[in-house]
Amino acid sequence: MADCIFCKIARKEVPAEIEKETDNLIIFKDVNPKAPVHLLLVTKKHFQDITEANDGVWDEIGRVAKEIAREKNLKGFRLVHNAGEAAAVAHMHVHLLGEVSAEREV
């Protein structure tokens, strides 16, 4: 989508602190971090959310999240996906929140 901010980041039309990239995902730092490590795992292809994405997307997100956790030696992390009206940006993405405790509110 032409005016979607995450599509623009994926096309590298808008700058972002890119941490990692695959053929299907671009991973960058959240501009408003809510954790010591807060990355967004964003699909390069525009899907609104889980309701439109195929199962392969989830497999890749899980694999890449585990790679990032190992690379950063995270003691713990959360993966959060917001769908529909719960999402601030209507483009498939998952928040990786690292170094958060079990007692912390989501």
Could you list the active site residues?
Answer: 93
17: which 2 tokens? 């602190």
Spatial separation of the C-alpha atoms in residues 92 and 83, rounded to whole Å = 8
Which of 36, 49, 46, 37 shows the shortest CA–CA distance to 88? 49
Gap between the Cα atoms of 32 and 17, Å rounded: 12
C-beta atoms surrounding 82 within 10 Å? 15
Neighbours of 12 (CB within 10 A): 11
